[in-house]
Chains A and B, each alone.
Chain A
Amino acid sequence: MDFKKNTVDVKDESKLLLHELNENPYKKFNVAFTLMSIIPFLVFFYLLVSKLFSIDILAGDIGLIMLVTLVISLLGYYIGYRVIKKVFDKIIDYAAHAKYRDKLKSEFVAFASHELKTPLSVMKINLTNLGLGILGEVNAAQRNIIGTCQDMIGRMDKLISDMLDLYKIEAGMVKLNVERCDLKRILERQVREFVPLFMKKNINLDEDIAKDEFMVSADRDKIEEVINNLLSNAAKFTPDNGIVKLRLFPNDEFLRFEVRDSGPGISKDRLLKIFDKFETSGIKRESTGLGLAISRDIVELHKGKIWAESEEGNGTTFTVLLRKDLNS
């Protein structure tokens, strides 16, 4: 894919914007100001035709004053026209640049996806080919290296996907596919995915979820992503034999979902930056540091709230508030 070749021109955007208006505002300005500027002449003509004064009057001082008045009036219209045209030029230019930037961002996402993910695929298959011994026998040390490379590719893939997701959200390119869904079911499904990981670390999962339905108007996939990120964090930071507590309950007009881990906790300084991009709490390096930033953006797109509370050495609690579905 040739990224540059596909790039739209900002001048084209200006033309498109003007086209979208269905009329040429510059022509309308011209007509409006021309009409306005002939008003003094029309008044003068009317006075003459109505014989309210004779043409001789123009020969004296009054004539000079009238001439000066007409010139000033025309000058005023001209300056007014220039000012309005300049303001309009700026508005069109600003809007065209904004549209141009959006298109560039959209092109960049498509470009980055293709140009980064295809080479990753090639590396992944070739490592698999090596690991399977298709290209010759592999010893244990070589297999170990192949495994490390495969892990790194997995991490790069996650980083690229997270960066593109965040980029799209921040560029306003994400449209929520809102539907009425049961938050409890979404949570249960995500929890099921994490059970093997929790079991592997012998983490005790303590669920406090009422039997009611918890209906929200939300984009199911996006909310799943938020819950997945929070559970993934909890699994990562909770030590072996630790506890992860999940709570889901109504809270006024919101549904409140909490994930509490028994990890090392986060210092007050770091807690302030926990939802920032590339913030990895300085503890676990396998994180892309984008999951919480994405989660925050998704929750905010849903007009909800997300925050973290923590005490060093005493675990961390992430809380998400999502508005209840009004029909529930």
Chain B
Amino acid sequence: MSDVQSKRVLIIEDSKELVMSLITFLRPHGFVCTAAYDAVFGVSMAHKGEADLIILDLGLPAGGGFFVLENIKNSPATCTVPVIVLTAKPEKSFEDRAIKMGVAAYLHKPFEPEVLLEHIKKVLAT
């Protein structure tokens, strides 16, 4: 746990309940979580440089998850921040597009929290 201790996770997700649940789940593992509830705010938070990892929903208001992903991946300041996508969108084309854009992991809702944790640890360890 020590290698990921105090790592900052930015959660960009429009469901406040899901954000709160994730924070409750991740905090005991030593992560410091912040949240944005729409795409524009998510991009602005990412550009503040306060995230070591971003958890991103694709069905976001104010632009959608791909808007965030494009902004993050095309900006030199944020392009190295790993992104884990959590989505309810079942389309394979979304997954292919996201992977092509360089996301570290792509998980379908409802995901296993432990699987998400494993991915987070793996991504932050590399």
By a beta-carbon cutoff of 8 Å, the part of chain A in contact with chain B is: 1, 109-110, 113-114, 116-126, 128-129, 132, 134-135, 153, 157, 161, 164, 177, 221
Q: Does B112 make an interface contact (CB < 8 A)?
A: yes
| Contact yes or no, B113 A124, CB < 8 A | yes
Interface pair A135/B18, CB less than 8 Å apart: no
Bound CA–CA A164/B91 (angstroms): 11
12 new A-B pairs (CB below 8 Å) besides A118-B18, A121-B109, A129-B21? A1-B59, A109-B90, A114-B88, A114-B89, A118-B109, A122-B15, A123-B110, A129-B24, A132-B28, A134-B24, A153-B110, A221-B92
- Which of B18, B88, B108 sits near A125, CB closer than 8 Å? B18
In the assembled complex, the Cα of A217 lies from the Cα of B15 at a distance in Å of 41
Minimum C-beta distance from A205 to chain B (A): 28
B45 proximal to A (CB < 8 A): no
CA distance A134 to B27 in the complex (A): 10
Q: How far is the CB of B92 from chain A (nearest CB, A)?
A: 8
Q: Which of B90, B108, B113 contacts A128 (CB 8 A)?
A: B113
Q: Which B residues have a C-beta under 8 Å from some C-beta of A?
A: 15, 17-18, 21-22, 24-25, 28, 59, 86, 88-90, 92, 108-114
B15, B59, B89, B110: the one contacting A124 at CB < 8 Å is B110
| A118 to B18 alpha-carbon distance, docked (Å) | 7
A114 touches B25 (CB 8 A): no
Which residues on A sit within 8 Å (CB–CB) of B109?
117-118, 120-121
Whether the Cβ atoms of A125 and B25 lie closer than 8 Å is yes
B110 near A113: Cβ-Cβ < 8 Å = no
What DSSP secondary structure best describes chain A's contact surface? helix
Whether the pair B89, A125 counts as a contact (CB closer than 8 A) is no
Among residues of B, the one whose C-beta sits closest to the C-beta of A124 is B110
Partner of A110, one of B24, B28, B89, B110: B89
| Residue among A109, A113, A129, A164 making CB contact with B25, cutoff 8 Å | A129
Knowing A128-B25, A134-B28 touch, does A113 contact B18 (C-beta < 8 A)?
no
Contact of B89 among A113, A132, A161 (CB under 8 A): A113
Cα–Cα distance between A125 and B86 once the two chains are bound (Å): 13
Which of B59, B92, B111 is A121 in contact with, Cβ under 8 Å?
A: B111
Take A117-B109, A129-B25, A134-B28 as given contacts and tell me if A122 and B17 are in contact as well, using a CB distance cutoff of 8 Å: yes
CA separation between A121 and B88, bound complex, in Å? 9
* Contact sample, A vs B, 25 pairs, CB 8 Å cutoff: A1-B59, A110-B89, A113-B89, A114-B88, A116-B88, A118-B15, A118-B18, A118-B88, A119-B17, A121-B15, A121-B18, A121-B110, A122-B15, A124-B111, A124-B112, A125-B21, A125-B24, A125-B25, A126-B21, A128-B25, A128-B113, A134-B25, A135-B24, A161-B90, A177-B92
